[in-house]
Amino acid sequence: MARKQNQGKYQVVWPRGKKVVERTAPARRLESLNGKTIAELWDFVFRGEEIFPLIEAELSARFEGVRFLSPERFGNTHSIEEREVLAALPDRLHELGVDAVISGMGC
C-alpha cells in the first residue's frame, strides 16, 4: 500500500515527461501565389493522384505563372523511409526553389 500522508491522503506526482519541442513561429506567408513554385508532398494514399491535379488546375486558373512539383520529386512522406525523406526535405525544397508546400493526406 502506498504510504498515506496528511490524514489519509496520497501526494501524487505527474505521469508525463518534459516537453522538448522548440516553439517555432510559422514561416512568413506569401503575398500571392502568382509566379510561385509549389511542392506537393504526399503519403501516396487517399486519392492524392486525383486531388492534386484538381488543386493544380484550379490554382493555375486563379494565379498566373504558378507551377507545381510532383510528389515523386520528394519521396513518400509516410513510409519506412519517412525519416530520410524528411531529413533531406529542407535542402531539396531550397534546391528546387520551392516557395510553398501543399502536404497531404491527413485522413
Contact set for another protein, span 17-46 (CB under 8 A): 17-33, 38-39, 41, 43-46
The DSSP H or E segment spanning 69 is strand 67-69
Residue 99 · residue 66 · CB < 8 Å: no
Angle formed at CA 39 by CA 80 and CA 41, multiple of 5 degrees: 25
Q: Which of residues 74-103 bind another protein (CB under 8 A)?
A: 76-83, 85-86, 89-90, 93-94, 98-103
CB of 67 to another protein, least distance (A): 14
CB of 24 to another protein, least distance (A): 5
Q: Which of residues 58-77 bind another protein (CB under 8 A)?
A: 58-59, 62, 72, 76-77
For residue 76, the one-letter residue type is N
